[in-house]
């Protein structure tokens, strides 16, 4: 297992750790096509309370293009970030003087969007004399299951989204070990590109899930990747290519529904198979038995059900964030920032 703590944070600056105080942090998220702001309060014992969470989606801006256009996304963030942040502060019922810090996504993501949120966060922090915490977007997803409910470290995490697919042992912010990762495409990438091939538009993943509900995928024999490999990695490029070619042969709505169901089943099956291996590896070295799934693909009900069954089979409790916190949001960034601030890590 490779330690990848450095993958989840830039080298942090340090200030005095804050162990015995309530921390209230404003979080900002602009890494892709949502402009989001949130205020989260972290208790000394680690309970996180979401005081507000505002998300402005750019779906309508990008739908005509069938995917996210980086320049359009960045311009929209510029237009929306101030209003979204002011609304989050108002819904929390707080003034900037009530904050203990500001957290902003510093990557990975679309560079133009990341720059907007991080620059705005720096400006707020400087103007209000508050510490700024730069947060890795993936670390935000990693802690998202802790929003609004007590979840103790450590746990095994499947982080599955449009750009990432990783199995991680999570011991806390800045303290994670990777057990497996995709060797090519992420699961969410496969969902979106196959949905586009089926003519389902953007965003593709939810549209494919809705279509799959009326289909029967048994008629399609899709490739299964990495069979026999004794590791916890993933591969979705072969499935994406094969399904996209089959999509071109679909003549009826039912053909498309059947293929959508086959794709969803194949993705869920691979996530389950690789997670099963990781759970066994994790259990051999740890007494803790909690399996968490997070990221945008965690909103898919078939994926959730498959992973919960795998967790139960291995004697693990299963947990996924509320649906609102699976996709990109600023509450997870605020929480990760608060936990870093607790340790005295600032940017």
As for how many domains the chain has, the answer is 2
Positive or negative, the CA dihedral 59, 7, 299, 251 is positive
**Whole-angstrom distance, CA of residue 299 vs CA of residue 144:** 13
Prediction pTM value = 0.92
DSSP SS3 for 67: coil
φ, ψ at 46 (rounded to 5°): 100, 0
Q: Quick one: 115 exposed, middle or buried, by C-beta within 10 A (0-12, 13-18, 19+)?
A: middle
- Both 304 and 162 in one domain: the answer is yes
For residues 309 and 185, state if they share a domain: yes
Tens-place pLDDT, residues 80-107: 999 999 999 999 999 999 999 999 999 9
pLDDT digits (tens, 9 = 90+) for 203-224: 899 999 999 999 999 999 999 9
Evaluate whether 333 touches 105 at the Cβ level (below 8 Å).
Answer: yes
- pLDDT tens, 213-262? 999 999 999 999 998 888 999 999 999 999 999 999 999 999 999 999 99
Supply the CATH number for residue 231's domain: 3.30.420.40
Same-domain pairing of 134 and 238: no
Position 265 in a domain: yes
The predicted model gives 132-151 an average pLDDT of: 93
Same-domain pairing of 77 and 185: no
Q: Are 116 and 34 in the same domain?
A: yes
308 and 184 fall within a common domain: yes
Would residue 110 count as lying in a domain? yes
338 occurs within a structural domain: yes
Report the distance separating Cα 200 and Cα 109, nearest Å.
24
> Does 282 lie in the same domain as 337?
no
Q: Which domain holds residue 30?
A: 2-147+326-346
DSSP-assigned letters across all residues of 51-63: EEEEEEE-HHHHG
Q: Are residues 240 and 257 in the same domain?
A: yes
């Amino acid at each position: 297992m490779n330690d990848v703590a450095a993958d989840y944070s830039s080298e942090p600056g340090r200030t005095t750790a804050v162990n015995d105080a309530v921390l209230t942090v404003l979080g900002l998220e602009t890494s892709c096509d949502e402009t989001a702001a949130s205020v989260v309060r972290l208790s000394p014992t680690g309970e996180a309370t979401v005081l507000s969470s505002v998300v402005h989606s750019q779906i309508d801006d990008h739908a005509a293009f069938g995917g996210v256009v980086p320049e359009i996304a960045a311009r929209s963030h510029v237009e929306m970030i101030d209003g979204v942040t002011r609304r989050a502060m108002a819904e929390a019922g707080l003034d900037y003087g009530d904050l203990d810090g500001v957290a902003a996504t510093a990557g990975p993501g679309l560079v133009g969007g990341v720059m907007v949120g991080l620059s705005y966060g720096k400006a707020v922090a400087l103007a209000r004399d508050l510490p700024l915490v730069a947060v890795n977007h993936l670390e935000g997803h990693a802690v998202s299951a802790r929003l609004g409910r007590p979840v103790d470290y450590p746990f095994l995490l499947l982080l599955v989204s449009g750009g990432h697919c990783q199995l991680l042992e999570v011991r806390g912010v800045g303290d994670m070990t990777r057990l497996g990762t995709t060797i090519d495409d992420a699961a969410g990438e496969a969902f979106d590109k196959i949905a586009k091939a089926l003519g389902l538009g953007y965003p593709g993943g939810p549209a494919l899930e809705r279509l799959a509900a009326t289909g029967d995928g048994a008629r399609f024999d899709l490739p299964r990747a990495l069979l026999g490999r004794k590791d916890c990695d993933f591969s979705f490029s072969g499935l994406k290519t094969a399904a996209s070619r089959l999509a071109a042969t679909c003549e009826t709505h039912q053909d498309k529904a059947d293929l959508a169901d086959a794709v969803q089943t194949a993705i869920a099956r691979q996530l389950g198979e690789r997670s099963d291996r990781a759970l066994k590896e994790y259990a051999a070295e740890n007494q803790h038995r909690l399996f968490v799934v997070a990221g945008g693909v965690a909103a898919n009900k078939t994926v959730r059900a498959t992973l919960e069954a795998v967790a139960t089979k291995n004697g693990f409790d299963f947990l996924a964030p509320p649906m609102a916190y699976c996709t990109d949001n600023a509450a997870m960034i605020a929480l990760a920032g608060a936990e870093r601030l607790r340790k005295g890590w600032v940017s």
